[in-house]
Structure formats: structure tokens, C-alpha cells
Amino acid sequence: MKLHVPKTTMVITFIVVAILATQFIRCKTTKADTRNSMDRSGVPGDFNDDIEKNMKEMFDKGKAVFRFDTFGDEVFWTDQLQIHKAIADEKHGGIGKGLSPKQALDAGLKVDLAVLPKFLRRKIKEGKFLDDPWVTLQLIKINAVLGVVGKFDGKGNLKSIGLTCASCHSTVSDPSGIGKRLDGWPNRDLNVGAIISMAPNLDPIAKLLNADQATVKKVLASWGPGKFDAELNLDGKAFRPDGKPAATLIPEAFGQAGHNLHTWTGGWGNVTYWNAYVANLELSGQGQFYDPRLMNKEQYPVAAKAGFGNKRSDSDHVSSKLAALQFYQLAIPPPKPPKGSFDEVASDRGQQLFSGKAKCATCHVPPLFAEPGWNTHKPEEICIDDFQANRSPEKTYVTQGLRGLWAHAKGGFYHDGRFATMLDVVNHYNTCKKLNLTEAEKNDLVEYLKSL
């Protein structure tokens, strides 16, 4: 059979096929080009895919660890301090009236609104149920209280309490204390001292510090909201020579990628060092930790006696989580300042001053805002006392990254919050470094700090 196709139809078909074919080829090459421009190995698939898969897994695991992992620290908070008995009322595994949601919020604990069932959400927003300790237990049960993990028996009795990183290093978006979870934002409302003080048995802490329980209570009461003493367990120094508490502000855990040293004081290590330190020696989780510097009896008498510099444990709930935890923490960006929260024109002038006349950028190197390299300084370089610095292995202070500064203004600035406002900080440097800044220039610098 002979096929009769008119010439014009053939031409049209040819053109259409040609167009489709070029489109197809173009589409393919664009895809390949974008891939190549990012990944110059030219070999898509296989190991490249392994890396991407790993990224996703590490991120998800790290987030879960940061929020919900207690590292087995129930052995301390529950078995020893018995803090669960102060949270539950006597009908649900506790010894007293129990902790009402209102008391929990007053102590600075935060509630994740997103996981609350609708009816509870509504009632709590209306201020109802806030006096009922049973509601606190329900909130703990659904993992709604940031950083507090509870286990219950079949009858609803609270059996154990453990704490996670999120208790101190997360907060929520609403001043009521019930809102959206903000990982990495320091909880400057959390009264850690008051919370630990609720525990029926402070004897383990008293024994460690070689003090009586009344003294421990006095120390815990001295901290106040937003502060904790992360080295008390090493050197037993609870107060400074001037009588003020030795506690420091809870720092932000965002914007830390690219910084070598973390924490306020120098020489401890980077994020993963400190994570291992906290999980093992602050939260008292079950794990392994090694740092021979903590065996120095002169500087760290408490740690040396307790053997903290070489902690071994048969069941290790820490080591397998450190990689993912670090990965997640480094992924937390500094939050951007809200629109209209600073004067843009003044901030532009402030930026010039920051790198120019005010010499801030010699240490706070943009865009990291800390030095690439060994980011520490002697106390005299920033004109402050050496008490806190001397508690660190290197006896220095760490240059703090300034991005997202606006998000942790509560409680003040510098390790102990000694400067209430950004202007106070600028005034301090003005005197310390003899900068001769005018009032207008100081104001510009403050607007710039607010913009970071």
C-alpha cells in the first residue's frame, strides 16, 4: 500500500518535530549545565548523591537531638535530684502540689504552640487551665515544654524527667511563653537556678561542690533569669571577688558556622567540644569525655577530684549523636532583624565607622564578626576584669559574632550582661580604645549593630 501524504503536511510535521527536539535538547543541557556549575566534578550521581543524602540525614537527626535528646541524663535529674517529684503532684508520682503551667512559665519554661491540640491551645490562650499542675504533665507528655522530656507509666504517673539542649538554647516567638519554637535563640527568661532549686534532693550537687545544701540554694538563687554557671562544676567558684554571681548569660546557638572558638571564654574548643562537655558534664548525660586540662588541680579542683577530665561510661548515649548535633547547630542562621527596627541610613554610616574610625572590624571581622583563626583576646584588650577569663583554659575572652545581636538583647551584653544596652557597649569601647566618637557617631554604630 502506498502512503499519500501531502507535501505541506510533511513540511509542517518536520518543523514541529524539529522544534520539539531542540527544546528537548536545550532542556537537557540546561539541567546538566546548572548541575555542572555547582558540581564541577562532572560526574553526577553516586557519591554526590551520598553526600546529599548524608546532609539530609545529619540535619534531621541533629535537630531531633538538639530538641529532644536527654543523653540519658535522667540518671542525674531523676534518680539523683528527683526533680520529677517536684513537677508532678502527689497523685501523679510527685510529693507536693506539683508545678502549674503558670509556675512553669514564670520560671521561664517555654511551650511549643504548634504541638498543642486545638482545645488546649484555645483554653491556655484564654488563661484557663494555667493553675492546674495536671496540664503541665499533659504538656510534657506531648513534648510541648521546650527542653523537658518526661516518661510516664500506664496510669499517667510521671516516672522520669530529663533535660535537653533546647531548655536553654531555644525559646518561642511570643512573650507569653507559648508560641512558635525558635531553635538557637537563647532563653533569657529561663531561671535555671530556680528550677534546679525545686529538686527535692540537692545533695549530689552539694557533695560535688563540698558545700551544704543551704549554700547550694544560695548559689542557685544568685543566678537569676537567663544565666547559668557552666564552670561551677569545674572550679567551684560561685561568686566573683566583688560578690556578684559567677554565672554568665546563656549565649545564642545560632550563627556559629565559621567561628573557631565558641563560649564566652577562651580555649575550650569549638561547637562539638562544647556539646560533648555539656552533654556529659552539665546535663550529666551518660557518655564519654576526655580533656586532660580538667585534671589540673589548681585551676579545676572540683573537676580533678570528680575525674571529669576522663569520664568513661559503659552505656554511651552521647558520642553517637555529636556529629549530627554539630551539623544541625551550624545550620542555624542568625535571625534577620524585623523590618523597621533600625534606621537604615544611620546604619550605613555606622557600617563605615565599624570598619573605620571605631576599629571594631579589627576583631569582629565581617561577615563572620569574629576573627578567622584564633578568636580570643586578653581581658586588658577589651578593658574588663579577668575573673571569668581566668576560669578558662586560655584565660581569655572569645570574640563574639554579632549577627542576630538584636535577638538576645534581653539580659544585656558581654558575658555577664554588664552592659545593659548597645549604646553602653559602644561607650565602653569609646573609652577603652580612646575612639573620640561623637554622640551622632555612637548612635550610627548602634543602628548598625541593630541591623546585623
CB of 262 to ligand HEC, least distance (A): 4
280: exposed, middle or buried (Cβ count in 10 Å: 0-12, 13-18, 19+): buried
Residues from 154 through 193 that contact ligand HEC (CB under 6 A)? 163, 165, 167-169, 192
Contact between 70 and ligand HEC by CB under 6 A: the answer reads no
Contact between 230 and ligand HEC by CB under 6 A: the answer reads yes
Q: Kindly report the CA angle at 356 between 355 and 359, in degrees rounded to 5?
A: 70
Cβ-based nearer residue to ligand HEC, 120 or 276 = 276
CB of 42 to ligand HEC, least distance (A): 38
CB of 105 to ligand HEC, least distance (A): 17
Contact between 360 and ligand HEC by CB under 6 A: the answer reads yes
Cβ-based nearer residue to ligand HEC, 113 or 253 = 253
CB of 257 to ligand HEC, least distance (A): 11
Contact between 451 and ligand HEC by CB under 6 A: the answer reads no
Joined grid coordinates for residue 109: 519554661
Tell me which of 330, 413, 441, 442 binds ligand HEC, using CB under 6 A.
413
Residues from 245 through 304 that contact ligand HEC (CB under 6 A)? 248, 250-253, 262-265, 271, 274-275, 278-279, 283
Joined grid coordinates for residue 150: 518526661
Cβ-based nearer residue to ligand HEC, 101 or 226 = 226
Contact between 237 and ligand HEC by CB under 6 A: the answer reads no
Interface with ligand HEC (CB under 6 A), residue total 47
Q: How many Cα neighbours within 13 Å face the side chain of 77? A: 31
Q: Do 163 and 144 meet the contact criterion of CB atoms below 8 Å apart?
A: no
Q: Do 332 and 184 meet the contact criterion of CB atoms below 8 Å apart?
A: yes
Give the interface segment with ligand HEC, choosing from 109-117, 149-157, 211-219, 421-429 (CB under 6 A).
421-429
CA distance 118 to 123: 9
Q: Do 262 and 255 meet the contact criterion of CB atoms below 8 Å apart?
A: no
Contact between 199 and ligand HEC by CB under 6 A: the answer reads no
CA distance 138 to 133: 9
Name the nearest CA neighbour of 164 among 193, 143, 141, 139. 143
CA distance 140 to 120: 13
Q: Do 213 and 202 meet the contact criterion of CB atoms below 8 Å apart?
A: yes
CA distance 359 to 352: 10
Q: How many Cα neighbours within 13 Å face the side chain of 431? A: 8
Binding mask 325-344 for ligand HEC (x = CB under 6 A): x-------------------
CB of 51 to ligand HEC, least distance (A): 24
The residue ranges that bind ligand HEC (CB under 6 A) are: 163, 165, 167-169, 192, 228, 230-231, 248, 250-253, 262-265, 271, 274-275, 278-279, 283, 325, 358-360, 362-364, 377, 381-382, 397, 399-400, 402, 405, 413-415, 425-426, 429, 445, 449
